[in-house]
Amino acid sequence: MSTTYFSFLYEVLLSFGTNVGNMFKGRFDLNADFANYHQIYLAYAGGFGIGGWIFYVLMILLAIGIVGSIFALLIYLIRKLMLRPKTKKGEEEKMRREIERLNLELYDAIREKDKILGIKTAERSGLTPGVSTEGEGDADLSNARFPRLLQVDMKYPNGVTVTELPDDAKDIDLPGIVERFRNFACSQMKLYYTLDTCRHFFASMGAGKLIILEGISGTGKTSLPYCMGRFFHNGANICSVQPSWRDRSELLGYYNEFTHKFTETEFLRAIYEATYRDDVVFVVLDEMNLARVEYYFAEFLSIMEMPNTQEWIINLISDPREDDPKHFQNGQLLIGQNIFFVGTANNDDSTFTITDKVYDRAMSLFFDNKGQPFEAPFTEALPMPYAYLENLFEQARKDHPISEETLAKFAQLDDFVIDHFKLAFGNRIMKQIQRFVPCYVGCGGTEVGGLDYLFKVKILKKFEVLNVGFLKDELLLLDEELTKLFGKDEFPLSREKIRTLIKMSK
132-136, 227-231, 413-417 — which one is most confidently predicted on average? 227-231
pLDDT of residue 88: 56
Cβ distance 175 to 202 under 8 Å? no
Query: Rounded CA gap, 180 and 183, in Å?
Result: 5
pLDDT band, residue 351 (cuts 50/70/90) = confident
pLDDT at 134 over 50: no
Q: At what angle do helices 447-454 and 195-207 cross, to 10 degrees?
A: 80
Residue 267's SS3 state is: helix
pLDDT of residue 210: 97
Average pLDDT over residues 134-163: 81
Average pLDDT over residues 34-48: 70
Neighbours of 63 (CB within 10 A): 12
Query: Rounded CA gap, 283 and 339, in Å?
Result: 7
Query: Rounded CA gap, 390 and 384, in Å?
Result: 11
Which of 358, 339, 348 lies closest to 212 in space, CA to CA? 358
Average pLDDT over residues 50-68: 77
Q: What are the angstrom distances between the C-alpha of 226 and each of 125, 229, 275, 342?
A: 18, 5, 20, 10
pLDDT of residue 342: 97
Per-residue burial over 462-501, b if 16 or more Cβ lie within 10 Å, else e, is ebeeeebeebeebbeebeebbeebbeeebbebbbebbeeb
pLDDT at 133 over 60: no
Cβ distance 206 to 302 under 8 Å? no
Per-residue burial over 206-245, b if 16 or more Cβ lie within 10 Å, else e, is bbbbbbbbbbeeebbbbbbbbbbbbbbebebbbbebeeeb
pLDDT of residue 130: 40
- Is the pLDDT higher at 155 or at 259? 155
Average pLDDT over residues 139-147: 78
Query: Rounded CA gap, 312 and 142, in Å?
Result: 31
The residues, any chain, with a CB within 8 Å of residue 474's CB and separated by 6 or more, are: 420, 421
The secondary structure of the chain in percent helix, strand, coil, rounded to multiples of 5, reads 60, 10, 30
Cβ distance 274 to 331 under 8 Å? no
pLDDT at 306 over 70: yes
pLDDT at 97 over 80: no
Average pLDDT over residues 266-280: 97
Do the strands 281-286 and 339-346 form a parallel or antiparallel pair, or are they unpaired?
A: parallel
Query: Rounded CA gap, 234 and 228, in Å?
Result: 9
User: In this predicted model, what pLDDT tens digit does every residue of 74-88 receive, in sequence order?
Assistant: 888 887 776 655 555
Which of 31, 45, 40 lies closest to 10 in space, CA to CA? 40
pLDDT of residue 119: 52
pLDDT of residue 10: 72
Residue 39's SS3 state is: helix
User: In this predicted model, what pLDDT tens digit does every residue of 199-252 receive, in sequence order?
Assistant: 999 999 999 999 999 987 777 889 999 999 999 999 999 999 999 999 999 999
Average pLDDT over residues 3-27: 70
Mean pLDDT, the chain, whole residue set: 85
The residue length of the chain stands at 506
Element (H, E) at 192: none
Average pLDDT over residues 298-317: 94
Per-residue burial over 361-375, b if 16 or more Cβ lie within 10 Å, else e, is bbbbbbbeeebeeee
In DSSP terms, 238 is beta-bridged to 284
